[in-house]
């Protein structure tokens, strides 16, 4: 009976996503709508979508696995994300929106010229495809631990659904589904954290158990004694490296597209604040369940047959503590986190193809680029192609035994070129030549390769490569060297052409010019967003509440009251949005009537 309920919940959820994409398909009239919501996104829609795209199933698998083994250290990663959002909200988010562009590569072209644009555009394809595949692989691990699904089957099914709704509905469907999924994820993860704490007698009981099991030293916030290998060394230097890496990446030009769909700079700033609040809340609650798994369910975790059993710790706690019928909903929440990351990457890759890669190719062949409607169709076809590539990469990763997802992510951080540093400094240092950013990226890239391959068996004949260098030293060296090289290009500004200098002046003028929504965009559709998403949320919340009627649950927070908390939260949010949309519609109607009377 319970398994039947879980499958119904998951099937209903996937059907919801497909339905949302079909409804929001009508919002897409051209490529501007398909790639950036026609610049009509409200702050709450953009903020929740931004929040959802900054984490994935990796949070509940790879990061949870680290928390299971090391306690609280992994929260540094997520708190550094919050810090990055603070800088967004205070300064950069409104300025990114004011750039009035569609892709990060477009911004790079405007700031540094076409050569750097092309490098960023092409390298971005490989990077985002790999990251999306990692997220999809992380999701498959989680569902394998909960339901015993085949990892490869999960990758195929979930990947296909994401590709479908991202292809059909574009950015509108991506952000709408992100928003609805956040409404489910937040209350269900709060419930799991509460039940986990109740299980051990509250916060004080948790720390007493940590001490009683001799884990106090191992769970120290900074701990380089217990964890001291090449990739994972939880020292103060590791903490500094991971914080700098995340804050810089969250504020560089590559992060700018998060706010392109917002109505104006003020809405973008509010969206960043909302993402910051949500990320901080997540940092405080997401890693309680894996720690409780270590204290109470370690035997179950260790018995799971996957490459890295601790990565199933969040799933094990959920299975043991959630009310009957709710395990499917926690799987839905994790589906949500992964799909939000994957769908945004698909839409962004399609936008980059249409806006940055195809135009120079068409000019080279002396052909005219298709119009807005034609660009929309190209974007849809490319979304399908990229989705297939991501699924294949995820299937390949699932065959790599012995490497946990956390390790995959750290390796990626070492190997990719350090583009974030010059793309951030370029916002504050105006007088650098057009080649400064690309030169910096190319010069710094070998550092990551050197650090990764150090200590490998095939390099033992090279004296300075015999011992592995720590991950954090590689990151700190890359960041510091990138900053130094970029600054050293300043004297070459005087050799830049007058055309490039005028382009740079225009870039900063545009970035600091507020958006006049009424003149530049025209009519808003806030009411439609509120009413449609409110209706979807209300129906979803009521459907979740129906799980209360599944036999076998008590009336406590670990039973029907817990189900009511989750479903009621979603339904109440939906009702408030419907009421707000209806109120806005009445106010607009009254305003029009007043003008006619005058």
Tell me how far apart the alpha carbons of residues 388 and 170 are, in angstroms, rounded to a whole number: 17
How do residues 77-91 score in pLDDT, each as one tens digit?
899 999 999 999 999
What is the number of alpha carbons within 13 Å of residue 125 lying toward its C-beta?
18
> What is the predicted pLDDT for the residue at 147?
67
Residue 287 has pLDDT above 90, yes or no: yes
Element (H, E) at 114: helix 114-147
Kindly indicate the confidence band of residue 43, based on its pLDDT and cuts at 50, 70 and 90: very high
Q: Which residue has the higher pLDDT, 46 or 325?
A: 46
How do residues 557-573 score in pLDDT, each as one tens digit?
888 899 999 999 999 99
Q: Which residue has the higher pLDDT, 48 or 337?
A: 48
**Contact assessment for residue 402 and residue 307, using Cβ atoms and an 8 Å cutoff:** yes
**Contact assessment for residue 443 and residue 417, using Cβ atoms and an 8 Å cutoff:** no
- Taking the CA atoms of residue 563, residue 569, residue 572 and residue 573 in that order, the dihedral angle to the nearest 10 degrees is -150
Residue 96 has pLDDT above 90, yes or no: yes
Q: Counting beta carbons within 10 angstroms of the beta carbon of residue 451, is it exposed (0 to 12), middle (13 to 18) or buried (19 or more)?
A: buried
Residue indicated by tokens 């603070």: 86
Kindly indicate the confidence band of residue 400, based on its pLDDT and cuts at 50, 70 and 90: low
> What is the predicted pLDDT for the residue at 406?
55
Averaged pLDDT, 117-125: 86
Neighbour tally for 539: CB within 10 Å: 15
Q: Which residues pair with 223 in a beta bridge?
A: 234
**Contact assessment for residue 530 and residue 584, using Cβ atoms and an 8 Å cutoff:** yes
- pTM of the predicted model as reported, rounded to 2 decimal places: 0.88
What is the number of alpha carbons within 13 Å of residue 483 lying toward its C-beta?
12
Rg of the chain on CA atoms, in Å: 24
Kindly indicate the confidence band of residue 409, based on its pLDDT and cuts at 50, 70 and 90: low
DSSP reduced 3-state for 125? helix
Tell me how far apart the alpha carbons of residues 320 and 558 are, in angstroms, rounded to a whole number: 11
Residue 511 has pLDDT above 60, yes or no: yes
Residue indicated by tokens 């706010």: 259
Closest CA to 412 of 486, 349, 475, 457: 475
Q: Which residues pair with 234 in a beta bridge?
A: 223
Token output for 482 = 């990138």
Residue 156 has pLDDT above 70, yes or no: yes
> What is the predicted pLDDT for the residue at 464?
64
Average pLDDT, the chain: 85
Tell me how far apart the alpha carbons of residues 221 and 70 are, in angstroms, rounded to a whole number: 8
Q: Which residue has the higher pLDDT, 16 or 96?
A: 96
């Amino acid at each position: 009976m319970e398994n039947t309920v879980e499958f119904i919940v998951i099937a209903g959820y996937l059907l919801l996503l497909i339905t949302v994409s079909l409804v929001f398909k009508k919002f897409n009239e051209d490529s501007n709508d398909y790639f950036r919501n026609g610049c009509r996104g409200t702050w709450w829609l953009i903020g929740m979508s931004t929040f959802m795209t900054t984490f994935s199933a990796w949070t509940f698998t790879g990061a949870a696995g680290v928390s299971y083994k090391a306690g609280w250290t992994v929260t540094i990663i997520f708190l550094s994300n919050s810090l990055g959002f603070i800088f967004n909200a205070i300064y950069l988010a409104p300025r990114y929106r004011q750039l009035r562009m569609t892709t990060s590569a477009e911004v790079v072209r405007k700031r540094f010229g076409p050569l750097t644009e092309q490098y960023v555009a092409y390298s971005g394809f490989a990077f985002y495809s790999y990251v999306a595949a990692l997220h999809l692989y992380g999701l498959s691990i989680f569902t394998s631990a909960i339901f015993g699904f085949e990892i490869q089957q999960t990758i195929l099914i979930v990947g296909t659904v994401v590709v479908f709704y991202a292809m059909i509905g574009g950015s509108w469907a991506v952000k709408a589904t992100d928003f609805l999924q956040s409404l489910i994820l937040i209350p269900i993860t709060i419930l799991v954290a509460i039940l986990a704490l109740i299980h051990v007698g509250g916060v004080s009981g948790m720390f007493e158990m940590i001490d009683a099991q001799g884990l106090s030293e191992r769970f120290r916030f900074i701990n380089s004694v217990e964890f001291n290998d090449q990739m994972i060394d939880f020292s103060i230097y590791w903490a500094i490296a991971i914080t700098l890496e995340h804050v810089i990446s969250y504020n560089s030009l590559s992060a700018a597209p998060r706010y392109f769909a917002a109505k104006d700079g003020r809405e973008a700033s509010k969206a960043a604040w909302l993402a910051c609040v949500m990320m901080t809340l997540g940092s405080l609650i997401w890693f309680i369940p894996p720690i409780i798994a270590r204290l109470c369910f370690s035997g179950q975790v260790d018995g799971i047959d996957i490459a890295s059993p601790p990565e199933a710790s969040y799933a094990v706690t959920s299975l043991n503590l959630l009310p009957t019928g709710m395990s499917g909903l926690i799987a839905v929440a994790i589906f949500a986190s992964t799909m939000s990351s994957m769908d945004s990457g698909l839409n962004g890759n399609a936008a980059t193809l249409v806006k940055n890669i195809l135009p120079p190719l068409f000019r080279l062949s002396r052909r005219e680029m298709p119009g807005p409607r034609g660009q929309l169709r190209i974007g849809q076809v490319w979304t399908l192609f990229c989705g297939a590539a991501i699924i294949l990469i995820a299937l390949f990763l699932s065959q790599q035994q012995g490497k946990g997802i956390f390790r995959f992510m750290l390796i990626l951080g070492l190997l990719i070129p350090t583009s974030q540093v010059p793309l951030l400094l370029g916002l504050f240092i105006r007088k650098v030549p057009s080649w400064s950013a690309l030169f910096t990226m190319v010069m710094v890239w070998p550092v990551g390769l050197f650090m990764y391959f150090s200590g490998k068996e095939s390099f033992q004949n090279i004296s300075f490569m015999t011992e592995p260098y720590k991950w954090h030293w590689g990151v700190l060296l890359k960041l510091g060297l990138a900053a130094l090289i970029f600054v050293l290009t300043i004297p070459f500004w005087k050799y830049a052409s007058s055309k490039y200098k005028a382009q740079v002046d225009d870039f900063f003028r545009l970035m600091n010019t507020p958006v006049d929504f009424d003149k530049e965009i025209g009519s808003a559709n806030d009411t439609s967003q509120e009413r449609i998403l409110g209706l979807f949320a209300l129906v979803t919340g009521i459907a979740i509440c129906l799980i209360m009627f599944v036999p076998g649950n008590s009336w406590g927070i670990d039973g029907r009251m817990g189900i009511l908390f989750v479903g009621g939260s979603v339904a109440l949010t939906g009702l408030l949005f419907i009421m707000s949309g209806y109120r806005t519609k009445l106010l607009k109607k009254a305003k029009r009537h007043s003008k006619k009377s005058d």
